[in-house]
């Protein structure tokens, strides 16, 4: 198994200085040789781990501030105009009652649903701490927890790793957050879906497929094997561990997106715009604390 750290390009940042907002110019690496005027086939907005809740901060997590941080992202997305926006899980934080947790979901989704483009919800463990999956998905108007869609000649796959080892779906505080799995039925669907698609593919999932620690999906090697054997998957975008990270395993990039909930103030946030080009190469433009990345397509390696 080839397992390497990929080239990370730190770039455009918004930052505060003496009360004024500045945007530093992005420094793009020479690895992929993107032309500045190259037009993407599709543009996707990304954010993760909002953990919205109407409660006081817990450690480094500032739950109420997510509303202002999402408004900040909305201003940028209005400029960038992504065709799709994906939240990579832990949209809300845990609550002691269904009523309270549903109120968190309704409040944050009012703002998220107003963003440009088609919205996609990846389930995280906190999304279904007290709610069931049907309750969460019903409220946001999404039919399934795992599915695929095409846009701009690119294939996208949304996975759901919120299952216990015995195959029981998360919900109603019936799980340990470290027991995360993608069950057999979903693996069979994934293999079939990738086989049927003739397009370069991007995968979205909350828990990590690139590590074997407590943040990782327990059967991640089995999932990675399916992705690798398809020969079509370029990158996997993940949340869950809250910090920027990027690895390459057997020709597939695994990118962990920075959490929005971490830290106080607009500058302590993270969101991005991903431009995907005809050959499957992509450019991730990060804002606030999210790093920039440029990733080659599988065919160009």
Ordered per-residue pLDDT tens for the chain, 301 residues = 544 444 333 333 333 333 333 333 333 333 344 545 689 999 999 999 999 999 999 999 999 999 999 999 999 999 999 999 999 999 999 999 999 999 999 999 999 999 999 999 999 999 999 999 999 999 999 999 999 999 999 999 999 999 999 999 999 999 999 999 999 999 999 999 999 999 999 999 999 999 999 999 999 999 999 999 999 999 999 999 999 999 999 999 999 999 999 999 999 999 999 999 988 899 999 999 999 999 987 654 4
pLDDT at residue number 27: 30
Check if the beta carbon of residue 32 is closer than 8 Å to that of residue 299: no
The tally of CA atoms less than 13 A away on the side-chain side of residue 132 is 4
CB 41 within 8 A of CB 154: yes
Tell which CATH classification among 3.30.70.2190, 2.40.33.10, 3.60.21.10, 3.30.2020.30 matches the domain 9-18+42-300: 3.60.21.10
The answer to whether 42 touches 83, Cβ cutoff 8 Å, is yes
Task: For strands 201-204 and 84-87, give the pairing.
Answer: unpaired
Q: Phi first, then psi: what are they for 120, rounded to 5°?
A: -135, 135
CA distances from 124 to 148, 185, 239 (A): 18, 19, 9
């Amino acid at each position: 198994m080839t397992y390497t750290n990929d080239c990370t390009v730190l770039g455009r940042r918004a930052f505060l200085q003496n009360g004024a907002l500045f945007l530093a110019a992005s420094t793009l690496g020479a690895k992929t040789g993107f032309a500045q005027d190259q037009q993407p086939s599709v543009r996707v907005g990304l954010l993760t781990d909002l953990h919205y809740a109407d409660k006081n901060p817990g450690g480094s997590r500032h739950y109420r501030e997510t509303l202002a941080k999402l408004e900040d992202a909305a201003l940028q997305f209005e400029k960038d105009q992504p065709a799709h926006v994906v939240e990579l899980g832990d949209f809300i934080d845990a609550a002691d009652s269904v009523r309270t947790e549903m109120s968190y979901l309704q409040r944050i989704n009012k703002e998220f649903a107003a963003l440009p483009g088609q919205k996609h919800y990846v389930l995280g463990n906190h999304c279904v701490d007290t709610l069931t999956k049907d309750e969460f998905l019903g409220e946001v108007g999404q039919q399934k927890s795992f599915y695929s869609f095409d846009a701009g000649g690119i294939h996208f796959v949304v996975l759901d790793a919120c299952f216990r080892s015995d195959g029981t779906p998360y919900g109603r505080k019936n799980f340990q957050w470290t027991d995360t799995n993608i069950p057999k039925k979903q693996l069979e669907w994934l293999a079939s879906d990738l086989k049927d698609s003739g397009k370069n593919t991007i995968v979205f999932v909350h828990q990590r497929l690139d590590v074997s620690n407590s943040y990782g999906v327990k059967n991640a090697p089995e999932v990675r094997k399916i992705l690798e054997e398809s020969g079509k998957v370029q990158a996997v975008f993940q949340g869950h561990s809250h910090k920027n990270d990027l690895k390459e395993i057997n020709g597939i990039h695994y990118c962990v997106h920075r959490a929005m909930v971490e830290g106080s103030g607009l500058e302590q946030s993270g969101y991005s715009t991903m431009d995907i080009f005809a050959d499957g190469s992509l450019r991730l433009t990060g804002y606030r604390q999210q790093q920039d990345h440029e990733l080659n397509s599988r065919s160009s390696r």
